[in-house]
Amino acid sequence: FFGIEDLVYRYESLRNVQEWTFDTFGRISGAPVFADGTVYVASRDGSVYAMDASNGSEEWETDLGDRVNGLSLRNERLYAATEGNRLVQLNTQGNEVWSVSTGAGATGTPAVTEDLVYVGTRDGELIAFTVGDGFEEWRYTEPTNEVSSPAVVADGTVYFGSNDSNVYAVDAQSGEPEWSFGTGNNIVNPAPVVSLYANPRPARPMQPGALAGDERAIEGLPIRLVIALVVGVASLGVMMNTLGGIQTLGVTELDVRPQPEVVGESATDVSVAVVGPEGDQIADATVVAKSGTARLDSVVTARTDANGTATLELSASLGPNQDEGTVSLSVKPPAGSQYADRRENTNVLVVAGNATG
């Protein structure tokens, strides 16, 4: 399972077969996570999605209200870091268990151990919370710029990079510093691999070595290949074959056609046709209406019938000084299909009063 842009793929690398895709409505943040037949993914549209691993059908969606920057899973609990200064724990049914403030935008994918969850922030802090109730255990504030995703290793140390060009090692239980090391470049990519230091930008050749704060180089070997080689030569071969196959993956764009395109502020039924590039009608797609510059009380969804049409009851409102606004439309393709909704869709225009047009 992997994500590219706003699509999650199930791809059988040994058979070179794309089995299904799932379309989120924002760029995917981090790698999908998988457990017990379900795939979970975070999206920058503000939602966490769960889908059936066998066919890609949606099991649930939880809207967290702000862009989600990464997702982790451990012991049937999901941990989502949001741009809205929150770390959120969800159960595997999509229900919020607890939410805590991180003080600034939470960056990257949280790292989780048996008793603590670690998350970095945009103002340069690494924070440890207890997994049971989200109590703040400690906060490390030495970095002077954004923290990248932390990587927790088995020897009780948290290793993480910062946009201040340093890699840091701190005690996982106490947050006490162990060492730091300057890379000479901003570190903005995911967490350091245990046998490497970091992935600086621009990438420089580096070699696996003891984590003692020294730097070594392998001539001509890019950092991303070093990471793959740590996993193993066989895994590298599979990865390269998969990456080659990704270039051939194809999806078919969908389009939405609302009628009417202009509504007033009173409750109005809007018929939305979902069509393929040749005008073919798409059944079993889900049309989603969300607040744009006009406000809906909640997200409105409806599934298309055999004729490719869904009916949404929209009751939008405008601000006191607004003459018009928009409701945005998007579509979730049928489960397991090759369709995607990437192009800009026609919005529904909302005008002041009750007149439609």
Q: Which pair of tokens denotes residue 23?
A: 């379309």
DSSP-based three-state secondary structure for 225: helix
Residue-wise pLDDT tens digits, 221-237: 333 333 333 333 333 34
Strands (DSSP E) contained in 204-308 are: 252-253, 255-259, 262-263, 268-275, 286-291, 300-303
Q: Tokens 């059936």 correspond to what residue?
A: 52
Nearest in space to 275 (alpha carbons), one of 259, 255, 294, 252: 255
Angle at 62 between CA 340 and CA 333, to 5 degrees: 15
Last-in-domain residue among 225, 246, 267: 246
Is the same domain home to 175 and 309? Answer: no
CATH code of the domain covering residue 263: 2.60.40.10
Identify the helix (H) or strand (E) that includes residue 106: strand 106-112
Same domain (yes/no): 218, 294: no
Model confidence over 22-81: pLDDT tens digits? Answer: 666 666 667 788 888 888 988 888 889 888 887 778 889 899 988 888 889 999 999 999
* Sign of the dihedral defined by the CA atoms of residues 257, 258, 259, 260, in that order: negative
CATH number where 177 lies: 2.130.10.10
Judge if 264 and 329 occupy the same domain: yes
User: Are 218 and 229 within 8 A, CB to CB?
Assistant: no
Q: Using alpha carbons only, what angle is made at residue 46 by residues 42 and 48, rounded to the nearest 5 degrees?
A: 35
Q: Are 79 and 199 found together in one domain? A: yes
Is the Cβ–Cβ distance between 81 and 119 less than 8 Å?
A: yes
Whether the predicted model's global pTM rises above the 0.85 cut: no
Nearest by Cα to 189 from 222, 144, 224, 239: 224
| Best-predicted range by mean pLDDT (18-22, 132-136, 194-198, 284-288) | 132-136
Number of domains in the chain: 2
Report for 13-17, 134-138, 281-285: range of highest mean pLDDT: 134-138
Whether 143 and 221 map to the same domain: the answer is yes
**Length, in residues, of the chain:** 357
- Reading the block at residue 266, the tokens are 């009173």
Q: Quote the pLDDT of residue 91.
A: 95
Average pLDDT of the residues in 74-98: 93
Q: Domain of residue 290: give its range.
A: 252-351
Task: Find tokens 């607004």 and name the residue.
Answer: 322
- DSSP letters of 298-333? S-EEEE--TTSEEEEEE--B--TT-SEEEEEEEEEP
Confidence at 126, pLDDT banded by 50, 70, 90: very high
